[in-house]
Amino acid sequence: MDTQFATSHYIGEHRCYGLRLKPYCLLHSLQLETLGSPLVTLASMPTASDLLIAAQICASHEIIIDFAKHRWARLRHNVQTEHLRFLDYYDNCNNGPRLYQRNSSGYSNRGLRAPWQQIIVTALIMQTSITLDQAWTMPVGQALWYYHSISEQLSPHGSIIQTDDDILDEQAQLEYEASDLCRDRIAAVMEREQRMKAGTWPLDERGCPLPLDLDNLRPKL
């Protein structure tokens, strides 16, 4: 059995800033993308506030508007540790199928403008007995498996692959690489903090610690 499929149906318990997170679902994804959260855009390292907001979103199946609560939590938790916990949670819930790469002579998104989450939800409620609430709140990995299984039945061209030697979909590959990059950046930030405490981090001409270059993961000269 494909391990991606098996793990998409086993979601462990995850916590971030003390909040018990529900399985990461399309509703969570849509809210985080709407807010421009760095946890999904990867444009920058998330702050404590970014992680607190994401934790509150992912601890509920409701649309979260007021993020004023739990501000005290940032005082008791390490940002890098909570970021790693969130990444483990995201990886555990996002085990969708690996896909064949699409090209100009094959299938494409046909210029659809709707959010990708909405496209998947629409397909699930049109082609299965899954309810609207179930479609929005099931783990992302499961939703992706249902969606692409439907696509395989409706299309003469298969898209799901079972071996690691096949070409991964470009977007999926970017997501896997981005997850690794996040972990490397967190490790670099933690190393900088440790070296600053030990007095071994390089200083500038004013005696101030050099900033960290997040692209090259080394002191920014």
Domain ranges in the chain are: 1-97+113-199
d(CA 202, CA 212): 10
d(CA 199, CA 101): 48
d(CA 185, CA 192): 11
Q: Tokens 């071996």, residue?
A: 163
Q: What is the pLDDT of residue 163?
A: 43
Helix (H, G, I), strand (E, B) or coil at 13: coil
Reported confidence tier of residue 198, pLDDT bands at 50, 70, 90: confident
Cβ(132)–Cβ(25) below 8 Å: no
d(CA 197, CA 195): 5
The whole-model pTM stands at: 0.63
Would strands 14-16 and 19-21 be described as parallel, antiparallel, or unpaired? antiparallel
Reported confidence tier of residue 116, pLDDT bands at 50, 70, 90: confident
Give the residues across from 218 on adjacent strands. 213
Q: Which two tokens stand for residue 171?
A: 């977007």
Q: Which stretch of 25-39, 74-88, 138-152 has the lowest confidence by average pLDDT?
A: 74-88
User: E-assigned strands of the chain?
Assistant: 14-16, 19-21, 212-213, 218-219
Q: How many helices (H) and strands (E) does the chain have?
A: 9, 4
Amino acid at 176: Y
Q: What is the pLDDT of residue 157?
A: 58
Cβ(176)–Cβ(184) below 8 Å: no
Q: What is the pLDDT of residue 104?
A: 46
Looking at the chain, how many residues does it have?
221
Q: What is the mean pLDDT of the chain?
A: 77
Phi, psi of 67 (to 5 degrees): -105, 25
Cβ(11)–Cβ(95) below 8 Å: no
Q: Tokens 């949670």, residue?
A: 89
Which 8-state DSSP code applies to residue 131?
A: -
Is the pLDDT at 56 greater than 80, yes or no?
A: yes
